[in-house]
Amino acid sequence: MDDHPTESRRSPLLANRDFRLLLGGSAVSALGDQFTLVALPWLVLRLTGSPAALGLVLAAMALPRAIFMLLGGAMVDRLSARRILLLARSVNALLVALLAALVLTGAVGMSTIYAIALGIGVATAFAYPAGSALLPQLVAPAQLASANALLMGMRQLSLFVGPALAGVVIGVHAGHGAAEARGLGLAFVIDAASFLASLASLWLIRTAIERAPKPAGKGVLADIAVGVRHVWGDLPLRAFMLYAAVVTVFVGGPIQVGLPVLANSRMDLGAASLGILMTANGGGMLVGGFLARTVARAVGGRLGMLVLGMDTLAGLALAALARVHDTVHGAVLLAGVGVLAGVAQIAIVSWIQQRVPPALMGRTMSLLMFTFMGIGPVSAALAGSLLKLVSLGALFAGAGLALSVIALGCMTSPALRGIGSARPEGAPA
């Protein structure tokens, strides 16, 4: 954090050296991540041909993330967000590099993939709260919305560019055997290499909070309990966390499992179709990120109604995927969903970062990440199993309509409608 907050508020955001390092390293790493996000589902489907196996791999990645997410948030508040992020991303880099080597040598099997997925899940349980807690240490509170917009914009740009590049890298080697293994292995190599840029930038960042002595706590479990009590006592924050958890159960898994199956079973371009669909969604989120501040100002303190309204529309778009059989129409729908999600994400994250005391930031962000990512194992496993019983179209229609119905129903909640204030009265600064 800048030792001169007043001066920090006056200076341009990109004049902040530490923020530039975070932005650059995160952008390269996020671009690399897209190669694994496309290559891993494709690898599993090629090895097994089973949507249920894909659901289990996603569950193997998400289950340890769920178990260790709150521990990760408590450790961030106790130790250092930067150092924990360094360690977690180093582990991720080693695991992805190992996967690349196994694919390229033809030694990869499903048991190895499950083990690597578990390891990645543990590492990301610490990386996500650390990354979210680090930003408020680097910029002034008044700059948080702009900083989040830039960071999320870079991530969405990676979603726009990365999947298409990954689809090309894998697609030019399409087929079976050694040729396809080279394409998949190269995708994992690119992701592993991208971690090096992130690690270098994190190594150069220094924060005042990291140098300051940490107050002695009563124990990690006690620290987690304090964080949970804080969120539970903040009614709008509690209401949003519960809403996000319910939405994740109904929607997260069907999207994670359904999109690769949609590209594999219905689309004409194979892996390239999956890349295009993900690129369209990322491009929409990039546009939504640019619109976020304007939309948030327009709705004033009615942030809750904004999120619920956008989720209602997003649900209808997802339900329409049930009728899609070509890449173009699927890309248009997912681009629309991306615009809505981009606006809502930046507004919500900035609201939480401004509302929560810095000493509780890691634990609060870990709870937020848990609602979006930790609950995913149940949803992904159920979605993979459901595809044995229902059609792909029924899965998308059910997930999308469930999201719309949930969002419309929650518009009657005063707590969700009241989301928008910066910090509850009497909250510690």
Q: How far apart are CA 37 and CA 41, in angstroms?
A: 7
Listed in sequence order, the DSSP H helices in 79-143 are 81-105, 110-138
Predicted local distance difference test score (pLDDT) of residue 428? 41
Alpha carbon of residue 154 to chain centroid: 13
**Amino acid found at 381:** A
Q: Is 222 helix (H, G, I), strand (E, B) or coil?
A: helix
Residue 378: how many other CB atoms lie within 10 Å: 17
pLDDT tens across the length of the chain (429 residues)? 444 443 444 457 888 888 889 888 888 888 888 888 888 888 888 888 887 888 788 778 878 887 888 888 888 888 888 889 999 999 999 999 999 999 888 888 899 999 999 999 899 888 888 888 888 888 887 777 778 878 877 876 776 777 778 878 877 655 555 656 788 888 899 999 998 888 988 888 876 555 554 555 567 788 888 888 998 988 888 989 889 888 888 887 787 788 888 877 767 666 677 777 877 887 788 788 778 777 877 777 678 888 888 889 988 988 888 887 788 888 888 888 888 888 888 888 878 888 888 778 888 888 888 777 767 767 777 887 888 888 888 888 888 899 999 999 998 888 887 787 555 544 443
CB 92 within 8 A of CB 36: no
Joined tokens for residue 170: 């894998």
Residue 92 makes CB contacts below 8 A (sequence gap 6+) with 120, 123, 124, 127, 195
Rg of the chain on CA atoms, in Å: 21
**Amino acid found at 423:** R
- In 3-state terms the chain splits into helix, strand, coil percentages (rounded to 5) of 85, 0, 15
Q: How far apart are CA 113 and CA 422, in angstroms?
A: 43
Q: How far apart are CA 83 and CA 81, in angstroms?
A: 6
* Domains in the chain, CATH or no CATH each: 11-417 (1.20.1250.20)
The vertex-346 CA angle with 342 and 352, nearest 5°, equals 145
Predicted local distance difference test score (pLDDT) of residue 405? 93
Residue 347 makes CB contacts below 8 A (sequence gap 6+) with 292, 295, 296, 303, 306, 307
